[in-house]
Amino acid sequence: MTFRRGRRLGIDVGDVRIGVAVSDPDGILATPVETIPAGPGAIRRLAELVGEHEVLECVVGLPIGLSGREGPAVTKVRAFCTELLTAIDPVPIRLFDERMSTMTADTMLRQSGRAGRTRRSVIDQAAATVILQTALDSERTRGSAPGESMRNL
């Protein structure tokens, strides 16, 4: 399979905030977009971003435990994605293992000199960027779309 051209939206779903990143049209580089408060308006805002950026698909971080087990956080993300999928249909969602993404993002922000308070305000965007960039790199390396596909039937 050749690499699929098109923008992807990376999403890091949290209980309080949702980080969002987007790729360039060639699917090479992920950049942060915004942090959305979790709650009633989150799905609507994500659907708006999907339309604004004309994305090929959404890549959502799946918070699998370090042991490889799926816990309550995975159940929450899957439920969120089911709701999101309805709002963005026909754009598909790919669930991508996000182990270590927040720690990687935090380390990158710390190394760039971000102080604790300012780091907290962008950590979710940075985590979404790490998730999306890792998925893009994986697709280029493997030659196939990474993660688990979710589609409306």
Q: How far apart are CA 153 and CA 140, in angstroms?
A: 27
Q: Is residue 152 part of a domain?
A: no
Please count the residues of the chain: 153
Q: How confident is the model at residue 79 (pLDDT cuts 50, 70, 90)?
A: very high
Give a yes or no: residue 148 inside a domain: no
Identify the domain containing residue 22 by its residue range: 8-142
Instruction: Specify the amino acid at residue 129.
Output: T
Distance of CA 66 to the CA centre of its chain: 18
pLDDT tens-digit readout, 14-46:
999 999 999 999 999 999 999 999 999 999 999
Q: List the one residue out of 5, 16, 45, 32 whose CA is nearest residue 101.
A: 32
Does residue 2 belong to any structural domain of this protein?
Answer: no
The total number of structural domains in the chain stands at 1
Q: Is the pTM of this model over 0.85?
A: yes
CATH number at residue 119: 3.30.420.140
Condensed to tens digits (0 to 9), the pLDDT of residues 83-142 reads: 999 999 999 999 998 866 566 666 666 676 666 666 566 888 988 999 999 999 999 998
Q: Say whether the peptide bond before residue 90 is cis (omega within 30 degrees of 0).
A: yes
Average pLDDT, the chain: 87
The Cα–Cα gap between 54 and 8 comes to 9
